[in-house]
Amino acid sequence: MASRKTSQRNREDVDKYSVLLPTYNERENLPLIVWLLVKYFGESGHNYEIIVIDDGSPDGTLEVAEQLQKIYGEDKILLRPRAKKLGLGTAYIHGMKHATGNFIIIMDADLSHHPKFIPEFIELQKEGDYDLVSGTRYRGNGGVYGWDLRRKIIRLYKKKVLESLVERCVSKGYVFQMEMIVRARQLNYTIGEVPISFVDRVYGESKLGGNEIVSFLKGLLTLFATT
């Protein structure tokens, strides 16, 4: 029993969490989301890095990210920008290639998912050794405030599991995260769930315009046809 506990502690000591944070016109939200991530990771004592994947934001988001990197350090804030908006799914794939953690957390930069839940994700994953952990509004005390079906869910993955899922993923836009959970169930990966509250974006307009909503619905149809 003692050796098992020692092994568990040793594993926790080397665990590292890479947060993938795609951004597009998030200059107001980015300083707050980064501050909250640093705060909750610091309080929980887990090793982490935040990878900002900006898709050519015209509002100066990348410049704000550069200032945040100076404040928190290049070891904690990694900038991996792209020249233009290429889709949420590809942003996560791009960020994953640069992640050095053995766990990956994917989330929005608009604060629709509060970083305060991350320690709960990590704790649940360790308790059940889950392949991935998903936030859900359908269990426990989870709630929704100004939330609709187009919103995405913060998720924690074992890196090797995410890499396996990405290989099978066909979606590139907002359906990407939904497809990931469907593929995970198909492959019988173990999934833990944490009840969380969702809130509408803090600053700025929703990224989903009319054309993107149409693309989202088309993506859903493709997903249903291929799973």
Q: Encode pLDDT of 141-200 as tens digits.
A: 544 444 343 344 668 999 999 999 888 877 766 677 778 888 888 899 999 988 876 554
DSSP state of 201: -
Model pLDDT, residue 4: 47
Residue 206, classed as helix, strand or coil, is coil
Each residue's pLDDT tens digit, 71-109: 999 999 999 999 988 877 888 889 999 999 999 999 888
Going 109 to 112 to 114 to 117, the CA torsion angle's sign is negative
CA distance linking residue 14 with residue 202, whole number of Å: 34
- Note the pTM of the prediction, 2 decimals: 0.78
DSSP E strand boundaries for 93-131: 103-106
Q: CATH for 2-226?
A: 3.90.550.10
DSSP E strand boundaries for 24-107: 47-54, 77-79, 103-106
- Buried/exposed 54-73: b ≥16 CB within 10 Å, e otherwise: bbebeeebbebbeebbeeee
